[in-house]
Structure 1
Amino acid sequence: MSEQSSTIEKAGGIFRAFFRRNDASAILATVALFVLFSAATGNFLTPFNQFNVWRSASQNVFIALGQAMVVIVGGMNLSLGAIGGLTVVILGHSIEIFGLNPVIAVFFALLTGMACGLFNGFFISRFRLNSFVVTLASSFIFQGLVNGISQGRPYSKIPKSFTGLGTGDLFGIPNMVFLMIAALLILAYVFRYTVVGRQLLATGGNTDAARLSGIKTARMVMLANVLSGLLASVAGILWVSRMGTAQPATGGDWLIVSFAVTVIGGTALVGGQISALGFLFSGLLMALIRNGLIMIGVNVYFESTFLGTIILLAVLVEFFRLRVASGAKKL
């Protein structure tokens, strides 16, 4: 009887430890949806469909990483989609109009993203302006540049060699998945083992305390915004490689994806907390929602309704997770 009690106690300890994780909600919701869609339709588990799911998940992660960089310091980036769109236009314009080598075009695209992040970071850190207001204003500025440069037309003369990164695979696994895993491993290392990573988290966790401890919080906010712009540009470059065309409309739906993946993945909106594993599962969750709804024949016109509902359910799971975790602490 004592052995049985000990086993139950150990199982309960494992259960409580799991629910203390800030990425537990993303893991549970993703596993539940994967099982649900697998049972609902036989086509869901086909290699072709899983290839598309994981490729979309990788894209979601790169989009959300740009948002996470500013969320961890207690800010937000409403111009993320516009930065991605501007990156796409600069990339397409450089290749098709200027005839530049794709490698050089990618370099200019990355510089564009970093410049946009620097623009946001300067006004937020230098003048202590609210990130919501600054990035809302800059989103109109960047979107205006997108429309002005492209004149609303897409760039279709993207070299086939450039699309290999977004459409190719290695042993049946999308190339983008390897890039995503590499990015998440770097993320985990930076925020766990480097001084800069810890200073970024400290700035978001408690700005005043971080400043009193000697951390140059204004520089951290600036760095976070530059990284946000850089990652948004990476997401834009991968988008072009995946689609084979540079569309000015790119980034129009990135905002909801970036916040959903970031928050569901365990990144605290008040800053100071991030989970690489949570990003993996929440990026996959968003891909599963869209793909699974199509596979089971849900009317595409109601996609946003179902998407919002499932996200709300994921948030409810997070609410109950916190209840279990807090209850465990009281015990």
Structure 2
Amino acid sequence: MSAGTMVETPAGGRIRRATRRPEFTLALLAVAGFAALAVATDGNLLSGGTLDAFFRYLAVPIVIGLSQMVVLAIGQMNLSVGALTGLCSMVAAWLMLQAGLPAPVAVLGALAVGLAAGLVNGLLVVVTRINGFIVTLATMTIIEGLRYGVNGPDTFQGYSQRLRDFGRASVLGLPVVFLAALAVAALVAVFFARTVAGRHLLATGGSPFAARLSGVSNDRSIVLAHGLSGLLAGAAAVITVAASGSVNSSIGDDLLLPSFAAPIIGGVALAGGVVSVAGTCLAAFLVRLVDVMQAQFGINPRWIDLIIGAVVLGAVLLGTVRQKLLRRSS
């Protein structure tokens, strides 16, 4: 071995691999973007109330991004996540105000509705053999009608004080709903990394034919992915009800684009087989920064939608190029 030859240690190799991951780039962008916005707002972003609101309203984008991510894992999409979040929110509020049920029962009801709707989506995909994009486009319109039917155009407010206190509570300066979203993200990460069902979902997304030869039921994976997506939409609804203090039939209308933006910018493959919980959370953070920038500087929301849409398109194109390069090198 020559004097100039360097031997890389295992730790050094792990660090170098980590710095090459998309999540590392997103983390740097998140830190740089947050610092730049703090400076641009003369430190207003760092004030107690603004910082609390920033993280409080980051909770739903994180969970709704994860809801879309689990379906992208099998190479499908769920266009109904926003409408379903709204429906579950309305159901939870209705159970508390109209049915007179306690908040814990209403929370379980919202989760049950989300899970049931997700399972119906998955079963429809399996039975009809129609792509999830088309199936969930159809169920989205049905769910929107159901959402409006719960209470019409009226607003639900004045429900459980304890649930609203939970939505406003903080621990060590961080909103409890944000910590709850991180806990949900941790559970999703464990599901994909440590459970057989999670690995089956990734196998189905990566190569349905190879998965079937290995004994994996692709149909079961499809139903499970959509069911889990619906359950996470229910969880996003619970956070919405707790944090907002009131809900109406328009809840969820603005969640479809963020649901795709977070996982796609976070490095999740549209073709399936690849997920990134950390990347999804970091991308949701970046999208939230853009929302705060729009509010602080009075930028037309249409321009914000254009920017986010362009970033999503760029992420898709980069992902496609990366997959082609990986195929050529393998």
2:261 aligns with: 260
Q: 1:77, 1:132 within 8 Å by CA — same for their partners in 2? A: yes
Which residue of structure 1 aligns with residue 299 of structure 2? 298
Aligned equivalents of 1:247 and 1:220: distance in 2? 33
Q: How many Å separate the matches in 1 of 2:302 and 2:79?
A: 25
Which residue of 2 is the match for residue 187 of structure 1? 188
Give the drift of 1:191.
1.1
Corresponding position of 1:251: 252
2:304 maps to a residue whose letter is E
Contact 2:73/2:275, CA 8 A, preserved across alignment = yes
**Distance in 2 separating the partners of 1:101 and 1:14:** 50
Deviation at 1:265, TM superposition (A): 1.3
Which whole-Å deviations, capped at 9, do the CAs of 1:160-219 have from their partners, x for residues lacking one? 211123221012111022212222222222211211111111011111110111011101
Per-residue Cα deviation, 1:40-64 (whole angstroms, up to 9, x for no partner): 2221222322222222222211111
Partner of 1:169: 170
Root-mean-square deviation (CA), in Å? 3.0
What displacement does 1:262 show? 1.1
What secondary structure, in the 3-state scheme, does the structure 2 residue paired with 1:114 have? helix
Name the structure 2 match of 1:33.
33
Deviation track 1:116-147 (CA, whole Å, cap 9, x = no partner) reads: 11111111012221111100000111111111
* Bigger mean CA deviation after superposition, 164-173 or 205-214: 164-173
Identity of aligned residues (%): 34
Supply the distance in 2 between the matched residues of 1:313 and 1:220 (Cα, whole angstroms): 29
Question: What is the letter of the counterpart of residue 214 of structure 2?
Answer: S
- Unmatched 5+ stretches in structure 1: none
Corresponding residue SS for 1:298:
coil
Instruction: Give CA-to-partner distance per residue, 1:237-290, whole Å, 9 cap, x none.
Output: 110111001221111011100000011112111111111211221121111111
* Maintained 8 Å contact 2:263/2:276: no
Query: 2:113 aligns to what?
Result: 112
Report the CA distance shift for 1:18/1:293 in structure 2 as closer, same or farther (over 3 A).
farther
Aligned pair count? 326
Aligned to 2:86: 85
| 4+ residue segments displaced more than 3 Å | 2-8, 12-16, 296-303, 305-316, 318-323
Q: Call closer, same or farther: CA 1:285–1:315 in 2, change over 3 Å.
A: farther
- Structure 1: how far apart are the matches of 2:303 and 2:151? 31
C-alpha spacing 1:311/1:208, structure 2 compared with 1 (3 Å): closer
Pairs within 5 Å for 1:62-211: 62-211=63-212
With a CA cutoff of 8 Å and minimum separation of 6, indicate the structure with the bigger relative contact order. 1
